[in-house]
Amino acid sequence: MNKNWIRVLCFTLLLFSATAANAVVIVDTGPGPGGDTGGWTLGDTQWLAGEFTTTEDYIITSIEGWINPLNSTGIVRVALYSDGGEIPGTQLFSDTFSKPGTSGNGWYGVSGLSWELLAGTYWVSFEGVTGTGGAMPYPSATPLANEAFFNSINSAWNEKDDLDIGVKILGDVSAVPEPTALALLGLGLVGGLGYRRKK
């Protein structure tokens, strides 16, 4: 077997089996209304959440909500939960961001994340930690079908499918090497080793 041919074969197989990450939009409901409108109160006494489903494995890199800070500073937590049916289940991930003390609707959230999610159904939540979290104006252009809110009065999640909050989730999808590609790579390596031994 020609030495150059073996090199080309091994290089090609490595390219086919390499893991590639591609940035994708996982959820985008579109924004809520513009201007300086109010919306569902977001604070340490009321959290807002929506359900989404993925058909592939993803690495979540950023999550944003359509929020009006309402001229008050504060810390907002963004969290991902397992599916609890009509409400969020167990918290899987969380991170916080500082809400600016300004007014006016816009996308606010967390970025630089590396949260690995297998294909399935999950809930994303926006939770005021300190002070008021502002408000989430509604309705978004294409709202999530299932939504819920956490109320400090009964300390429980409550189903409420007409929140229509704005949510944007971005991430990477990793192309896992297929069994066929791995088998071909193995054959190429064995062939290369056999050629070296023969030489």
Query: Does one domain contain both 116 and 189?
Result: no
Q: What's the chain's average pLDDT?
A: 84
Say if residue 198's pLDDT is above 60: no
Write out pLDDT tens, residues 105-133.
999 999 999 999 999 999 999 999 987 77
Confidence grade of residue 2 (pLDDT, cut at 50, 70, 90): low
- Structural domain total, the chain: 2
Query: Does one domain contain both 149 and 184?
Result: no
Q: What is the pLDDT of residue 48?
A: 98
* Residue 178 token pair: 């297929």
Neighbouring residues of 14: CB distance < 8 A, sequence distance ≥ 6: 185
Query: Does one domain contain both 102 and 136?
Result: yes
* Residue 172 token pair: 């990477």
Query: Does one domain contain both 49 and 67?
Result: yes
Residue 115: phi and psi, rounded to 5, are -95, 115
Cis omega before residue 139 (within 30°)? yes
Query: Does one domain contain both 181 and 160?
Result: no
CATH of the domain at 95: 2.60.120
Least confident span in 91-100, 139-148, 155-164, 183-192: 183-192
Cross-strand bridge partners of residue 58: 117
Query: Does one domain contain both 122 and 143?
Result: yes
Query: Does one domain contain both 79 and 113?
Result: yes
Which element (helix H / strand E) includes 116?
Answer: strand 106-117
Query: Does one domain contain both 131 and 160?
Result: yes
Query: Does one domain contain both 169 and 192?
Result: no
Average of pLDDT values for 92-117? 95
CB 106, CB 52: distance < 8 Å: no
Write out pLDDT tens, residues 29-83.
999 998 888 899 999 899 999 999 999 999 999 999 999 999 888 899 999 999 9
Average of pLDDT values for 136-164? 95
Query: Does one domain contain both 89 and 106?
Result: yes
Dihedral angle over CA of 105, 106, 109, 112, nearest 10: -170
Q: What is the pLDDT of residue 181?
A: 44
Residue ranges making up the domain that contains 183 = 1-18+177-199
Query: Does one domain contain both 125 and 195?
Result: no
Query: Does one domain contain both 2 and 43?
Result: no
Say if residue 8's pLDDT is above 80: no
